[in-house]
Each structure stands twice: as C-alpha cells, then as structure tokens.
C-alpha cells in the first residue's frame, strides 16, 4: 500500500511510522505533503529519500489530487496536519484517510482543538484519563469512525506539556 503522510510540523509521528515500516512491511511511505515549507518533518522525509512536497494552496483540491495521483497514493495519513482536507479529496479517498488526535475522541476534538489547547482543556475539565485516537477522516473535524485508541492517566500537578509528552509517546506506538 502506497501511503502519503501529511504534516504541518516537526513530524515525530512520521518518524515513528518510518521506523516501523521496514522493507518487508505491507505499506510504504511514498510521499510527504505539508502545508508549511518550514515543517521539520520535510527534512526527515528527504533524509529518508522520500519525496517531500509543499502544497502551494492547501485548500485547492485539484493540487492535492494531482500530487496524490502522481505518486499513485492509496492511503492518506494525517500526522499533525493542521488544515482541513478539501472535500473533493475526502470524497475521492473515502475511508482511506486516517488521522491521529491527542485525546480520547469524541472528547476534546473539533475545530481549534490541537496541540496544547487539547491538553489544557483536558486538565481544566478534571478528567482523570486522556489518550490518543486514530480515526477515519470525513467532512467533520475529528468525527470520523474510530479505529484505535489508547489511554494514559492524567496525574495531579500535570502541566499541558507533561500530559502532551505522555500522550505523544503513546501516539508513536499507536
Ligand atoms: C500530535 O500530537 C498529533 O496528534 C497532532 O499533532 C501532533 C503532531 O506531532 N494532531 P508531530 O508533528 O507528529 O510530532
């Protein structure tokens, strides 16, 4: 299976995927796409010999589809991708787009819920567990069918950064 990974930042989930997908794996990362030319994960991809491309307009479905077709992509993986995927791309890749989110969805998801904001909201709520979710992407932010989840405890005195680090480790395994 030919996989495209979409990133907006440092790409530590991309790193975890690349480490896991050895030469005999049933899936291979053939393209890394970013909406930001400064995303650290682009360098990671290039160092691994994977084409790393920057979208000139992340809201332009035809640009997406052209790039995905050029690399014969079967599956899209959003790993810290902060833009909405255009609806025609979602329709073309129906049930073939995965996202990872740093909370136990459907709690603490939706527009504006990313990065430390998620962990701050969890701490403010008094929740005693949080975690990570892998789900299918549909037209609504963070609401597609859930494929896998894992939980971590929220500890007394946690800062958003503490909780974020604990969850990021879990994301890499998930
Ligand atoms: C992760 O927490 C992921 O769940 C999220 O954005 C973060 C990306 O981290 N949606 P990285 O770029 O993979 O290090």
Distance from Cα 11 to the centre of ligand 1, integer Å: 7
Q: Does the Cβ of 11 fall within 6 Å of ligand 1?
A: yes
**What is the best residue among 17, 117, 171, 173 to mutate for testing ligand 1's pocket, by most ligand atoms within 8 Å of CB?**
171
Long-range contacts of 72-76 (CB under 8 A, 24+ apart): 72/2, 72/30, 73/2, 73/3, 73/4, 73/30, 73/31, 74/1, 74/2, 74/3, 75/1, 75/2, 75/3, 75/4, 75/27, 76/3, 76/4, 76/6, 76/137
Residue 142: band (very low, low, confident or very high) from pLDDT cuts 50, 70, 90: confident
Residue whose token pair is 């290039």: 46
Q: Does the Cβ of 10 fall within 6 Å of ligand 1?
A: yes
The pTM score is 0.95
| Digit-coded pLDDT (tens) for 50-78 | 999 999 999 999 999 999 999 999 999 99
**What is the best residue among 8, 33, 79, 131 to mutate for testing ligand 1's pocket, by most ligand atoms within 8 Å of CB?**
79
């Amino acid at each position: 299976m030919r996989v495209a990974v979409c990133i907006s930042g440092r790409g530590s989930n991309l790193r975890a995927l690349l480490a896991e997908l050895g030469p005999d794996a049933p899936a291979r990362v053939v393209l890394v796409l970013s909406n930001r030319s400064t995303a650290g994960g682009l360098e990671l991809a290039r160092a691994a010999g994977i084409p790393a491309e920057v979208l000139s307009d992340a809201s332009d479905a035809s640009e997406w589809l052209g790039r995905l077709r050029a690399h014969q992509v079967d599956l899209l993986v959003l790993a810290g991708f902060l833009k909405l995927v255009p609806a025609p791309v979602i329709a073309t890749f129906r049930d073939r787009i995965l996202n990872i989110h740093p909370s136990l969805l459907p709690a603490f998801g939706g527009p504006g819920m990313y990065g430390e904001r998620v962990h701050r909201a969890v701490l403010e709520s008094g929740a005693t567990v949080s975690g990570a979710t892998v789900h299918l992407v549909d037209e609504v932010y963070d609401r597609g069918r859930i494929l896998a989840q894992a939980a971590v405890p929220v500890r007394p005195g946690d800062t958003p950064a503490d909780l974020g680090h604990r969850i990021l480790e879990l994301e890499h395994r998930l």
